[in-house]
Amino acid sequence: MAPTRSRWSRPPRSTRPPWRRTPAGWARSTTWSASTSARARVRTCCPWSPTSTRARRPPGPWSTTSGRSRLRRAPRPWSAGRARSLHDQMSGIGSRLPWVAGWLVLTTMVILFLFTGSVVQPLRALLLNAVGLGATLGAMVWVFQDGHLAGLLGFTPQPMDSSMMVLLFCVAFGLSMDYEVFVMSRIKEMRDLGMGNEEALVHGLAHTGRIVSTAAALIAIRLLRLPGETRSGFIQFFGLGTGLAILIDATLVRGVLVPASIRLLGERAWWAPRPLRALHRRFGLSEAVPA
């Protein structure tokens, strides 16, 4: 009859764990056996214990495993307030802004190419318009965010509203492109009559300078009166920003940067690839009768 082994007796060598097959492991076996017996008592008296061998409840919200999976599938918590509104506004504008910018660039390139027959003039116009609009937005930050004219206009300095800046950008860009098409169409008309680059530039600006300056002055004077007539921050921002953008475009851009850039570029300002020149001869927009 095989001798019986108690629960505290050492198991045969073949059934021992690898870490208990050495004298050092025998010293740890006492602690291990004591902890094992303690866990066994917990299994017996505490069926709700995580180490219990009895039938357990199905995983619920208190389960660690099910909690992790539920947390991965759970929707993001709702939030409200000014911070959430600003986040939604910035996300909405940022997601559509590349499409708007691409559409503006595409329409500018197409319209100016049809008027001038050059691929350099549209790029030059976009660059100069960006310079003028950057100066306008910088002035708006200096006034409304830094608060340098807060006492005169009667407003409280605060961070710039992204929607107001986008609206100002679109309106100012449209007005500047209107002046650009008007001026460049006259310069191109003089070139079609047989004038050189500098002579066409001088005559084109002479024909359009007074009209552009007068129209810009009339619009800017009316818009610059809006900040003094109301206390609405939106109206003040829109009136001052649009009026300043028109003045910068009509004076610094059209009167200084446009003639200087065309003079520096010379004949290269009217360059276009041969297929595009053929396309312009067929579909181009012109008011002059070819000589």
In the chain, what are the domains? 101-283 (1.20.1640.10)
281 neighbors 113 (Cβ within 8 angstroms): no
- Encoded amino acid at 244, one letter: L
175 neighbors 245 (Cβ within 8 angstroms): yes
CA nearest 71: which of 59, 80, 79, 61?
Answer: 61
Mapped onto helix, strand or coil, the DSSP state of residue 25 is helix
Cα(32)–Cα(149) distance, rounded to whole angstroms?
Answer: 78
Angle among Cα 229, 231, 234 to the nearest 5 degrees reads 100
pTM over cut 0.85? no
Helix (H) or strand (E) holding 245: helix 233-248
Residue showing tokens 């200087």: 260
* Alpha-carbon distances, residue 210 vs 204, 207, 214, 261 (angstroms): 11, 7, 6, 20
Q: Residue 87 has what pLDDT?
A: 75
DSSP classification of residue 57: P
217 neighbors 199 (Cβ within 8 angstroms): no
Tokens representing residue 67 in the block: 């909690």
Tokens representing residue 184 in the block: 């460049």
CA–chain centroid gap for 14, Å, is 69
261 neighbors 124 (Cβ within 8 angstroms): yes
Residues 6+ apart with CB under 8 A from 129: 173, 176, 177, 180, 249, 253
Residue-wise pLDDT tens for the chain (291 aa)? Answer: 555 555 555 555 555 555 555 555 444 444 444 444 444 444 444 444 444 444 444 444 444 444 555 545 555 555 566 677 777 777 877 788 888 888 888 998 898 898 888 899 999 999 999 999 999 989 988 988 888 877 777 777 887 777 888 888 888 888 888 888 888 888 888 888 888 888 998 888 888 888 888 888 898 988 888 887 777 778 888 888 999 999 999 888 988 999 999 999 988 888 888 888 888 888 877 665 444
CA nearest 253: which of 196, 178, 200?
Answer: 178
Q: Residue 245 has what pLDDT?
A: 92
Mapped onto helix, strand or coil, the DSSP state of residue 111 is helix
* Alpha-carbon distances, residue 229 vs 187, 226, 232, 236, 256 (angstroms): 40, 5, 9, 9, 33
Cα(212)–Cα(210) distance, rounded to whole angstroms?
Answer: 6
Tokens representing residue 192 in the block: 């079609």
